[in-house]
Amino acid sequence: MSKSGLAVVSRRSFLLSASAALASQGLNPRLFAAPLLKPDEHPIVETALGKVQGVLSDNSRIFKGIPFAAPPIGTMRFHPPAAAQPWKGVRPAVDFPNAAMQPPTAYPISEDCLYLNIWAPEAKGTYPVFVYIHGGGFTGGRSFEPIFNGTQFAKNGIVCVTVAYRLGSLGFLDVGPLLGSQYAGAANNAMRDLVSALEWVQKNIAAFGGDPKQVTIGGESAGAKLTCLLMGVPAAQGLFHGMISESGGAERIWPADNAARVAHGYNDVWTKTGSKTGDLLTADAAALVAAQRVFIRDWPQHFPLRAEIDGTFVPQTPIRAIQQGSSHGKRLLIGTNRDESALFIGPHPAKDAAAADLGNISVEQFEPVYKRYAKVYPDMTVEQRRIRAVTAEEYWIPSVRVADAHVGGGGEAYMYRLDFSETDGRLSGYAYHSLDNVLVWNYPHKTAANAEAEAMIASQMHNAWAAFIKGGAPAASGLPQWPRYTTQDRATMILDTQSHVDQKPAEQELRLWDGVM
């Protein structure tokens, strides 16, 4: 086990599971009674749909489980999100909602999941807004992981919002080929959920002290990938002004014909259980998730459930849209961890990459590139080269391509690479996938052998992210000046115990991937 509590596990099992947490009760739209407690302890805010009452804690006003769309249940399954309904009275916003449907977890899950949570500074003011999209491989995760505690951002003068979206077959499966044209483009419903959440922010965040003209969206892993995809979605363009991508990229999307093949493949699994295709509309959601697990296990490509280029909501590849200026004038902070894939294939991977290890391309595409790694990195062990190449395929190369497209389309970008690592545990010496979470949210591991160094870099990264969200270059005490990224010098902040800026880092490796993906 690493000090983060994460064992070295298969990618699928990691992304299909979540850490245990205290159960919390979801709140459905209904009529509400008088305020719960004293207003000075439970502040009340009036939104466009009705009043909500939160909690005052640690100099932050916290509101949990606010609906931003109607529950996508019953006849609304597989449809785009509908508007949330108003309520009378004061709605308690003191408990986290249910998470989206996913494989069984220790916390409540439900199709009724389209809620958001807000941490706002206690003092009145107009603050920048950070809307965070959780990760989980498009099939798991939740907006209220313990680490996603927005108090640190609120204390830093930022309104922090964490949002949910439909997962797996309920959010990323195009059932149009199975159920008819009225369901066309259903693989994009999760992204439509996020657009709906951002529309809610535009309409309501000022009531919580947020500035709707200064909204940054961001996330880690799947949340970063969704952030990058949203950069190229026309319906999202006026809803945010900055982006943060931690271990992301814009490759996680299918052409429409691939999405149709995935739908039929899923349906083959579904009907083998004795169900009919039409039962997808009425069956218990847990049955859809159970079929999903079998389907993902047996499908020859990794991450088969993903968004699609449907010609309407997503008219072209997001990376092409970004190149053409869809994110023109916006600001991007983007980067990866040096050894992302060590978490999934282990610190001592015994075999070359298989299909289950690759996030974007086939083994046949990967192998010719990987064979050239020995020439670029002759001093690395075979194990180290395996980690390096798989990390590049899934995270680093896609992130570089988003940065290049963004600045080419008229945007401003800042690039980083996290090299900091723990000095004990099975992943000692590796800057593994998800390590950045505890640093960005400023909740470092207190039991790590190098806890003091981790606390220092956590403070630096959190403050640098906050500076970026507030509209400046990412900056923090102890970090060197962070230059803008250009395609000419590829200036990259290397985040470590002694951070520094590299020009064109790993340029030879980068060239190995020219023309691939």
- Residue with tokens 């996603």, as numbered in its chain: 148
Radius of gyration for the alpha carbons in the chain, expressed in angstroms and rounded: 22
Q: What is the 3-state secondary structure (H, E, C) of 263-281?
A: HHHHHHHHHHCCCCHHHHH
Query: Among 109, 114, 149, which residue's Cα sits nearest to residue 132?
Result: 149
In the structure encoding, which two tokens stand for residue 181, read together?
């044209």
221 is catalytic: yes
- Residue with tokens 């850490």, as numbered in its chain: 19
Q: Are 318 and 228 in contact (CB under 8 A)?
A: yes
Q: Which residues contact 386 (CB under 8 A, 6 or more apart)?
A: 345, 349, 352, 353, 370
CA distance 158 to 441: 13
Buried b (16+ CB within 10 A) or exposed e, 136-174: bbbbbbbbbbebbbbbbbbbbebbbbbbbbbbbbbbbbb
| Beta strand segments in 68-198, E | 90-92, 115-121, 127-133, 159-163
Query: Among 304, 395, 305, 378, which residue's Cα sits nearest to residue 344?
Result: 395
Of these residues, 221, 247, 326, 421, which one is catalytic?
Answer: 221
**H or E element, residue 60:** strand 60-67
Active site residues: 221
